[in-house]
Structure 1
Amino acid sequence: MKPVQHKTRSRAGAAIFVRGAHEVAHARTAERQVQFLAEIGHLFHASLDIAQVLEQVLIKSSEVLGESNCIFLREGDELRLAALHHPDPARAGQLRAFYSQNPARLGEGIVGCVAESGQPVCLSGLSPEDLSDLSSPAYRAFMAQSAPATFLAVPLVAGGQVIGVFCSASRVPGRRFTLDDLKLAQAIAERAAVAIENARLYRELQERLRQQTILYEASVALSSAASLNDVLNTLSRHLCLALNLTGVGVSLAALSRNRIVPTQVYDTSGLIAVLDEVTGELYQRLSTALEAASPAGQPGKPPVLALRADQPQISLEERALLEAFGAQALLVIPLVVRGESLGLLELCDSRAPRQFSAEETVLAQALAHQAAVALENVHLLESLQATYDELQESSRLKDEFIQNVSHELRTPLTFVKGYIELLREGAFGPLSDEAHHALNVVADKTGQIIRLVERIATLHLMTQQKLNLEPLDLNRLAQEAAERFRPVAEQAGLNLHLELTPAPAPVMGDPLQLPQVFDCLLENAIKFSPQGSWVALRVHSRPGVAWVEVEDNGIGIPPDKLDKVWTPFYQVEGHMKRRFGGAGVGLAVVKRVIQAHGGHVWANSQLGQGCTFGFALRRLDAGM
């Protein structure tokens, strides 16, 4: 019995030893896997350059899984190779070239089935014949001479969606993937999916920030655009940059049916082509296609027309529109402001068919709306400019007319005045008292006409000629004006008060124009003052400035009319013009002359309590 018991104990001990060795090996493997996962976790967190990180992770994966590893990422129904590691660089190049031309498709082959089902696949002991039911004919032909002995494919899942597949393969004889290998591959796939999704979100964030920056810059530029070319160049440049376009077309609506509107195409450098210059039919064809593409039953949704050269069931007309722009992809958006269509915006990509994303379409629509507003503003600005030019031309013609009329009137009025004086002096024989009285009336009215002509001429000259400045004393000018108008005031039954400064009030002035200012102010005050009242002429002075005020006790001016009395030919009320006469020129002359001297004017009044008009000039001792 003892030998038997000894053998039994030996076998039990051996079994325990083997089991312990397996457990130790398993523990060491688990430790290496934990260390490996920590290392690739560090790689994923070290950089946002996901392509470089994936390459490094695949290299590390070859140390614990198969010697050949790759990652496919899903793009629609296709799975494209995103990263690859193979021990043979030549073979790696062949694999990249093959998958570039033959992307895996969803539901086809091992990779496609894993991506569609979301379940991992682990195959061992494969032969070329075993590939017949697992892959496409192109893949079978490509892999016929180098089929892997064992193959593992695990889905990459992010947000509940399969975004790709992680694959590991080995041609080492006898190499079989275990359950631990599958778990490790799933752990790698899980971390890779998170990193890929984070990188995608980061890229999207960066792209949106870039687009929003371009949108802001475009908004600022469009808001200050002053011409049609500015708007179109700004719009096209920013759209090309924001959406990576090869060109932007603009078709503006015709202002009339008989006007041909060619479509202009721009890139970042400016205008590059003009389409349909002869008939202008392209705009109408695009409008018809856009209307046909508008969503039915959704009147509030802005219409867009998206065309791709590779889209199924594309019509001949749609293909012709693509060819007209030389584009592989075309997005047409209306330019609308306040419900009115100003034209169409065409986004072109001539490199390859592309699907414009919803975000790109929204950004393009936002820029289209801002461009439509800018176009309307430019149209309004051009209309205002045209109106302004017409007014300027009218003003020029008016000034020219005034100049010509005043010149033509001066000569005959001078002769009339001269002959009146000769008649009054008896040069043509003695006159009766009645004739003298009549001539005095004619002389007075002739003087009024001459003064009116001179003032109208002065209004014109103040914008055409320079002043002849010399030192003048406002006290002396005021005194001379008072002497000229004292007889007029007395005849009107008014008292004229003169108040001067104790010392001279020197200014630089035109000796012909400044006296006119005094005359206009005094004449205006006397005209509107009732009999028995008074008119005051005052000169004030302090260091740096001298000013003159003319105050009357007349009818006054409504406060809301004070700013208008300086306007040429303005009359406060029609009945006042009929009662007091005048052409509304005197105060306009005052303002023009004083402003030409670098001074300023003002008026104070209360209805029924008289007016005060004044002007101020810089004193000569203050410098010019």
Structure 2
Amino acid sequence: MDILLLSNLEIVIGTLLLICIGALFTVLNKKTNRIIFLQKIVSKLKKSFDSLDEQAKLIVKTDIELNKTQEELDKRLESLDSLQKASRLISTTLNEKEIFLHLDQSIITELGFEKNLTLIYDKKETLHCRVSLGFSKNDADFIVSNFSNEAEIIKILKSGETFCSVQISTQQRAAISQLFGLEQFILSPILTQNGMIGFVFIGNQSNTSPITEGDQELIAILANQIGQSLENARLFEEVYRSSQVLETKVQERTKQLSSALEEVQKINKAKSDFISAVSHELRTPLTSIKGYASILMAGKLGEIPEPVKERLNKVNKHSDNLVALINDLLDISRIESGRVEMNITQCQIKDLIENVHDLLTPQMKEKNIQWTTNINENLPEISVDGRQIERVFINLVSNAIKFTPQNGTISIKAHITNDIVELEVSDTGIGISDEDIARLFDEFYRVENKINQNVKGTGLGLALTKKIIEAHNGKIWITSKLNEGTTFHFTLQPSTQKDFNL
């Protein structure tokens, strides 16, 4: 019994142990799984933290780069602003000295540099320092006197290229660094249409801030602006000097012309006075000669032979011609001196033309010349000396009759243009060359042609005609074609215009 109980007890205890062991294994298994799960979570967290750390490092790096880029952009903007300011200053002056005065230390500093030399060649290819910033006078003079030895560098500059210290050979860089005393530098040629006239040297003493491609572009732009401004200033100076010389010459020539004009006026006055005096002196004896000839021809002193009478007729005719010539000379003299007496009245153009037609009809019939008129019916009255304007028509129509062949045509036209009365006397005669037209209104000038050689005249009629028209504030001109005909145009003011140069 006791043995049985003991055996059962062992079984129970064994069972309980198994249960406990199973439970323990179950618990251990759960904890193991939990540990594994936690390890996985820790591993994931570690990866996440590592990723975040990398991202944080990347963000910090990016931020540093952005800050650096921002600083570079700010620096570039400041440099561009400085360049724009410098360009505005030097481009708005036309004085060469002021251009270089605007290139001061503040501009160079704002561009990010410490030192600057601007060197310019003169007409003799001698180099001169026009701007020295950061260099002593002795240093600048030394550089100017020795730079001509750098043939290779000068060759590069003359090609129009801008270069910096890192773009040339070690030997060239060492030579320039030794000459200018700078490790970092930019050299840019100053160019005009005539080629290189100088260059800009700019740089820094230290290597803490290396020169960039952007810096090189800025200095190239600055050098180009200096070149354009210098060229504009020199062109302006040249134009100004030329204008001064021209003005001096104009003043001298004006003075000479004024003196010559005064002399011509004196000569014209002397000529007019002489013509007036001589004409008066000639007219008196001519009047007596004509009078005695008329008395003799009338037979008041007895009968005279027919041959003598013919000679007296010629004397009388030539006396009339001389009197007409003298009257023309006197009228020209009076008009030129302003002493002519004009009787200004209201006249109709049509009436004046009809009077001239009636007077000259016999001469036109001799050559079977046709007379035509085209007169605007709405023409206003004109305020003129009717006798003098008739004289103009007589001179022009008489000339037309002389130089128009048999069966030709003479036309008179009158119309109004822009409130001005314009008249035309046209013929179908031999015409006038351009060379003769230019001198046709000169006193005593006569066209050389076969007809003119057979036609007598003094060469005063057209000169007097021009004087009369101009005395009425009018104008007269000629259009003509050889072998086709000639037209004399002249203008007169309507009756509302009463300001005459008489």
Shorter-chain TM range is 0.5 to 0.7
How far off is 1:619 after superposition? 3.9
Maintained 8 Å contact 2:186/2:219: no
- The partner residue of 2:275 within 405, 419, 422 is 405
- The partner residue of 1:424 within 270, 282, 294 is 294
Is the alpha carbon distance of 1:215 and 1:510 closer, same or farther for their aligned partners in structure 2, counting shifts above 3 Å?
farther
Q: Counterpart in 1 of 2:233?
A: 214
- The partner residue of 1:190 within 211, 229, 236 is 211
1:509 and 2:372 correspond: no
* Distance (Å, rounded) in 1 between the aligned partners of 2:246 and 2:434: 47
* Distance (Å, rounded) in 1 between the aligned partners of 2:173 and 2:374: 105
Q: Counterpart in 2 of 1:47?
A: 78
Maintained 8 Å contact 2:383/2:498: no
State the SS of the aligned residue for 1:508: strand
Is the alpha carbon distance of 1:385 and 1:449 closer, same or farther for their aligned partners in structure 2, counting shifts above 3 Å?
farther
- The partner residue of 1:166 within 205, 228, 247 is 205
- The partner residue of 2:184 within 138, 145, 156 is 156
How far off is 1:470 after superposition? 2.8
* Distance (Å, rounded) in 2 between the aligned partners of 1:215 and 1:56: 28
| Structure-to-structure mapping, 1:287-326, within 5 angstroms | none
How far off is 1:409 after superposition? 1.7
How far off is 1:36 after superposition? 7.7
State the SS of the aligned residue for 1:471: strand
Deviations 1:199-227 (A, max 9, x none): 5434433323322333443455456x2x6
| Structure-to-structure mapping, 1:132-531, within 5 angstroms | 155-158=183-186, 164-167=203-206, 185-186=207-208, 188-191=209-212, 195=215, 197-198=216-217, 200-218=219-237, 220-221=239-240, 225=243, 228=245, 230=247, 378=249, 386=256, 390=260, 393-394=263-264, 396-398=266-268, 400-421=270-291, 423-425=293-295, 429-430=301-302, 432=304, 434=306, 435-465=308-338, 468=342, 469-486=344-361, 497=371, 506-529=381-404
- Please identify, of 450-459 and 613-622, the stretch whose mean Cα deviation from structure 2 is larger: 613-622
The AA in structure 2 aligned to 1:593 is: I
Maintained 8 Å contact 2:352/2:386: no
Q: Higher Cα Rg: structure 1 or 2?
A: 2
- The partner residue of 1:617 within 475, 479, 492 is 492
> Could you list the runs of 5+ residues in structure 1 that have no partner in the other structure?
1-26, 59-69, 83-98, 107-114, 120-152, 168-184, 232-377
* Distance (Å, rounded) in 1 between the aligned partners of 2:60 and 2:272: 107
Is the alpha carbon distance of 1:553 and 1:440 closer, same or farther for their aligned partners in structure 2, counting shifts above 3 Å?
farther
Is the alpha carbon distance of 1:577 and 1:431 closer, same or farther for their aligned partners in structure 2, counting shifts above 3 Å?
farther
* Distance (Å, rounded) in 2 between the aligned partners of 1:577 and 1:478: 26
Maintained 8 Å contact 2:108/2:116: no
The AA in structure 2 aligned to 1:480 is: N
Is the alpha carbon distance of 1:398 and 1:473 closer, same or farther for their aligned partners in structure 2, counting shifts above 3 Å?
same
Maintained 8 Å contact 2:443/2:463: yes
Q: Counterpart in 2 of 1:303?
A: none
Maintained 8 Å contact 2:108/2:115: no
The AA in structure 1 aligned to 2:183 is: P
State the SS of the aligned residue for 1:470: strand
Deviations 1:46-105 (A, max 9, x none): 3234955886899xxxxxxxxxxx9566789x9x874xxxxxxxxxxxxxxxx8588698
The AA in structure 1 aligned to 2:210 is: A
The AA in structure 2 aligned to 1:46 is: L
Q: Counterpart in 2 of 1:354?
A: none
Structure 1 length as normaliser, TM-score? 0.44
* Distance (Å, rounded) in 1 between the aligned partners of 2:111 and 2:397: 99
* Distance (Å, rounded) in 1 between the aligned partners of 2:425 and 2:137: 96
* Distance (Å, rounded) in 2 between the aligned partners of 1:536 and 1:437: 34
Q: Counterpart in 1 of 2:161?
A: none
State the SS of the aligned residue for 2:444: coil
How far off is 1:509 after superposition? 1.2
- Please identify, of 481-490 and 441-450, the stretch whose mean Cα deviation from structure 2 is larger: 481-490
State the SS of the aligned residue for 1:582: coil
The AA in structure 2 aligned to 1:452 is: L
Is the alpha carbon distance of 1:212 and 1:510 closer, same or farther for their aligned partners in structure 2, counting shifts above 3 Å?
farther
The AA in structure 1 aligned to 2:72 is: G
Maintained 8 Å contact 1:562/1:603: yes
Is the alpha carbon distance of 1:81 and 1:598 closer, same or farther for their aligned partners in structure 2, counting shifts above 3 Å?
closer
Q: Counterpart in 2 of 1:24?
A: none
The AA in structure 1 aligned to 2:466 is: K
* Distance (Å, rounded) in 1 between the aligned partners of 2:182 and 2:483: 99
Higher normalized helix content (fraction of residues): 2
Q: Counterpart in 1 of 2:13?
A: none
The AA in structure 2 aligned to 1:446 is: S
Maintained 8 Å contact 1:513/1:593: yes
The AA in structure 1 aligned to 2:321 is: Q
State the SS of the aligned residue for 1:438: helix
How far off is 1:498 after superposition? 7.8
How far off is 1:559 after superposition? 6.8
* Distance (Å, rounded) in 2 between the aligned partners of 1:156 and 1:101: 21
Instruction: Give the number of aligned pairs.
Output: 361
Is the alpha carbon distance of 1:32 and 1:118 closer, same or farther for their aligned partners in structure 2, counting shifts above 3 Å?
farther
Maintained 8 Å contact 2:437/2:478: yes
| Bigger RCO of structures 1 and 2 (CA < 8 A, at least 6 apart) | 2
State the SS of the aligned residue for 2:490: strand
* Distance (Å, rounded) in 2 between the aligned partners of 1:588 and 1:57: 78
How far off is 1:517 after superposition? 0.7
State the SS of the aligned residue for 1:620: coil
How far off is 1:156 after superposition? 1.0
* Distance (Å, rounded) in 2 between the aligned partners of 1:46 and 1:388: 63
Is the alpha carbon distance of 1:552 and 1:444 closer, same or farther for their aligned partners in structure 2, counting shifts above 3 Å?
farther
* Distance (Å, rounded) in 1 between the aligned partners of 2:279 and 2:461: 19
Maintained 8 Å contact 2:275/2:333: no
The AA in structure 1 aligned to 2:290 is: I
CA-atom RMSD in angstroms: 5.4
* Distance (Å, rounded) in 2 between the aligned partners of 1:41 and 1:598: 79
* Distance (Å, rounded) in 1 between the aligned partners of 2:271 and 2:337: 14
1:589 and 2:459 correspond: no
| Structure-to-structure mapping, 1:2-17, within 5 angstroms | none
Maintained 8 Å contact 2:379/2:421: no
Higher normalized strand content (fraction of residues): 1
How far off is 1:505 after superposition? 6.4
State the SS of the aligned residue for 1:584: coil
How far off is 1:392 after superposition? 7.2
How far off is 1:413 after superposition? 1.5
Deviations 1:513-560 (A, max 9, x none): 323212312332343355x65775746456956555545565444576
Percent identity of paired positions between Structure 1 and Structure 2: 17
State the SS of the aligned residue for 2:211: helix
Maintained 8 Å contact 1:482/1:496: no
Structure 2 length as normaliser, TM-score? 0.53
The AA in structure 2 aligned to 1:206 is: Q
How far off is 1:611 after superposition? 4.5
Maintained 8 Å contact 1:155/1:162: no
* Distance (Å, rounded) in 1 between the aligned partners of 2:74 and 2:312: 113
Maintained 8 Å contact 1:73/1:165: no
The AA in structure 1 aligned to 2:205 is: F
* Distance (Å, rounded) in 1 between the aligned partners of 2:492 and 2:78: 74
